[in-house]
A and B are shown apart, each in its own frame.
Chain A
Amino acid sequence: MSEPRTANTAKPLGPTGWLRSANGSLAGMQHLGLVAALVLLCIVGLVTRPENFASYSNLVNILALASTIGVITVGMTFVIIGGGIDLSVGAIMALASVWATTLATQSYGPWVMALCALLVGTGAGLVNGLLIAYGRLVPFIATLAMLVAARGLAQRMSDRKTQLIRPENSAIVELSTTRVLGIPLLVYIFAAVVVIGWVVLNRTTFGRRTFAVGGNPEAARLAGIDVRRHTMLLYALSGLCCGIAAIIIMARTTTGSSTHGDLYELDAIAAVIIGGTLLSGGRGSIVGSILGLFVFTLITNLFILNGLNTSDQLVAKGLIIVVAVLLQRRNLKERSL
């Protein structure tokens, strides 16, 4: 049964992803594999485009490009470890970006715009959570419905137009243009979300409960965890991450648009899966998800640096997902022996 495994993973000061790699456990091996993949990609970059790839500005670019989806991936990791799935992330981000850039919201200034994005994201996530935890809808269905509805609402609200951030609210755009130590502010936001996410998942009761709920909800309930409330909070958390991502995408593109975040759900889920998080829940790590995400971002970067076609890039990404999941299954088997 999976019960002992859950208990093990949920140990208060359980080994972190990086330490685990020394133990050669599942997550550790996955991380080693991902680091190897990243190193390999970097070597490819160094060989093919030495002058462009190995520059400071390219590194900053990669970090900035990964920020939006990176923040979403952190939320997605929580949801998937908790035994769920969130298909609505891209749509919620689009809705939050549109809502925060309507002329009416913009009239209140940049702080309200940012707050609006966060509230809309969290609110939509909360609706997901309520439907799933208390309405007993299957996560796949509930978030699929949210995907369609949020995208539709975003289109309706923006009249399918691209909403520009007005000059007086350029404080939002400065998140992208202002650099501290040569790195855009939005990268710090991304880093903060990753660190906070890591701490919450590995060092708090909330994190332990997430592993427990995802590993074996029944056991978690018997252990006195309010499983429904926790499930609801996980989706709200994912929604909040979408709100943060909306602020980042607004800063990067200077717009809110119903087309933002198209297919982000797939990229985020793929990053989480190749990062070693089990789709069935109960186990996973944020470090793995972020490494997985960087594999994807690096591939995109390398393809464009080398002037290659985007279609081939999609094929490469598909192959990586398959290989990662195959490895994961082999590791699981070895472990269960």
Chain B
Amino acid sequence: MTQNVARRGFLVGGVALGAGALVSACTSNEPQQQPAAQSPAPAPAATGGNDAPGQRVSIGFSAPAADHGWIAAIAKNAETTAKQYSDVDFKPVEPTNDINQQISAVDSLIQQKVNVLVLLPNDGEQLNQVARRAMDAGIPVVNLDRIFPDKLSYRTWVGGDNYGMGVAAGHYIGKKLKDKGVTNPVIVEIQGIATLPLTQERSKGFEDALKTYGFSVTAKQDAKFTVETGNQVATNLLQAHKKIDALWNHDDDQGVGVLAAIKESGRNEFFMVGGAGSANAMREIQSGSSVLEATVTYSPTMASSAIKLARLIAQGKGMSDLVENQVPQSITLASETITKDNVAEYLPLGFES
């Protein structure tokens, strides 16, 4: 319902922009044929009856509003998963990129006395205090991805493995080049935002894994996670290196721009590995029509898992496949390598960038 009103509101705004009726009829993003976007497939039902309705719990949820397909997928996955349970009251707060607003949003969830909180902070350091307040008020916090520095601030952490992502990409590239018998390969790396710790961890993992094959990165540049900068950086990098053996691009979202640049240049003497695991990258891998051969995941499905964990924590249950009676303190997702061989299994989990 609110969705409808919002859509109407923005249509009106569109007309007000003076672009005329024709254009305003073009704003709809509803797929006209069969919906291409898939909702994240429910993970295979856990055995042991943990999915059976139990005690009713309310789950508060707060995440940033980044301009990126990955974060959009986080929010959507959390909501979809929560809706699958009849015993869950899902209480999301308005996503924001402002630290202050996120702090007050979380405070409001604490005051509502939700049973459990799922938090993806804009910045773990800066949101640490408010997470701690929640824990002190007896509300367990499930910390999603960006970690709080203080262990008293969260009950369980679930997130991706940035270092592992670099390692997975490094092993794929290293092994493949070794098998081909390439010596002194030209390996190019396109990073996200170079100043972020997560980017540095990815690069470190990549470097370390390549080292085991005796290889090293020839050139790396950062592309700020946007399609446009990805395109620009790749165009220049292709110019700088007349012959490339392998390319790792940290992020599938910016990878759309990188691939466009590669196609435009007509180069195909190398292979490319992506990062994150977007649906689009998977389709490219599946079709085999481009240099993109593989991608290493940093999957936003972690949001679905976080909601499931939050529910179990609130209900006092453990993970049925494990021996313990309670949910573990920390869960790090493995970075999985998606290639043409296994892409079909992963496609339902891919996010639309």
- A residues lining the B interface (CB < 8 Å): 49, 51-52, 55, 57-58, 61, 64-65, 99-100, 102-105, 107-108, 112, 116, 119-120, 122-124, 126-127, 153, 155-164, 173, 176-177, 184, 249, 252-255, 257-262, 300-301, 304-307, 309-311
Q: Are A310 and B10 in touch, CB under 8 angstroms?
A: no
Minimum CB distance partner of B15 in chain A: A123
Q: Are A102 and B29 in touch, CB under 8 angstroms?
A: yes
Chain B residues numbered 53-70 whose CB sits less than 8 Å from any CB in chain A:
65-69
What's the nearest-Cβ distance from chain A to residue B231, in Å?
5
Q: Are B227 and A300 in touch, CB under 8 angstroms?
A: no
Q: Are A103 and B264 in touch, CB under 8 angstroms?
A: no
Interface centre among B13, B20, B233, B235 (most CB of A within 10 A): B235
Q: Are B256 and A64 in touch, CB under 8 angstroms?
A: no
What's the nearest-Cβ distance from chain A to residue B66, in Å?
8
A261 to B67, CA, bound (A): 13
Q: Please, could you name 17 A-B residue pairs with CB atoms under 8 Å apart, sorted by A? A: A55-B239, A103-B30, A104-B25, A104-B26, A120-B23, A155-B67, A156-B6, A157-B29, A159-B29, A160-B67, A176-B264, A252-B260, A252-B264, A253-B231, A253-B257, A260-B227, A262-B228
Interface centre among A156, A163, A259 (most CB of B within 10 A): A259
A261 to B227, CA, bound (A): 10
Contacts of A255 in B (CB 8 A): 227, 256-257, 260
Select which of A153, A177, A260 is within 8 A of B10 by beta carbon: A153
B47 within 8 A of A: no
A307 to B259, CA, bound (A): 20
A155 to B231, CA, bound (A): 20
Contacts of A173 in B (CB 8 A): 260
What's the nearest-Cβ distance from chain B to residue A169, in Å?
13
Select which of B6, B72, B220, B221 is within 8 A of A161 by beta carbon: B72
Q: Are B232 and A156 in touch, CB under 8 angstroms?
A: no
Q: Are B235 and A64 in touch, CB under 8 angstroms?
A: yes
Contacts of B280 in A (CB 8 A): 162, 164
Q: Are A307 and B256 in touch, CB under 8 angstroms?
A: no
Contact A162:B27 (CB < 8 A) given known A107-B32, A260-B228, A310-B221: no
Contacts of A157 in B (CB 8 A): 10, 27, 29
A259 to B230, CA, bound (A): 12
Contacts of B256 in A (CB 8 A): 162, 164, 253-255
Contacts of B4 in A (CB 8 A): none
Minimum CB distance partner of B236 in chain A: A304
Contacts of A258 in B (CB 8 A): 67
What's the nearest-Cβ distance from chain B to residue A217, in Å?
25
Select which of B19, B28, B232 is within 8 A of A119 by beta carbon: B19
Q: Are A253 and B227 in touch, CB under 8 angstroms?
A: yes
Contacts of B242 in A (CB 8 A): 51-52
Contacts of A120 in B (CB 8 A): 17, 19, 23
Q: Are B29 and A310 in touch, CB under 8 angstroms?
A: no
Contact with A along B225-250 (1 / 0, CB 8 A): 01110111101110110100000000
Q: Are B68 and A116 in touch, CB under 8 angstroms?
A: no
Contacts of A104 in B (CB 8 A): 25-30, 32
A244 to B327, CA, bound (A): 55
Contacts of A155 in B (CB 8 A): 67
B219 within 8 A of A: yes
Q: Are B69 and A304 in touch, CB under 8 angstroms?
A: no
What's the nearest-Cβ distance from chain B to residue A97, in Å?
9
Contact with A along B204-227 (1 / 0, CB 8 A): 000000000000000111101011
Contact A261:B228 (CB < 8 A) given known A164-B256, A252-B260: yes
Can you list the 9 inter-chain pairs with the closest CB atoms, starting with the nearest?
A: A105-B26, A304-B236, A123-B19, A104-B28, A123-B18, A259-B226, A305-B240, A254-B260, A253-B257
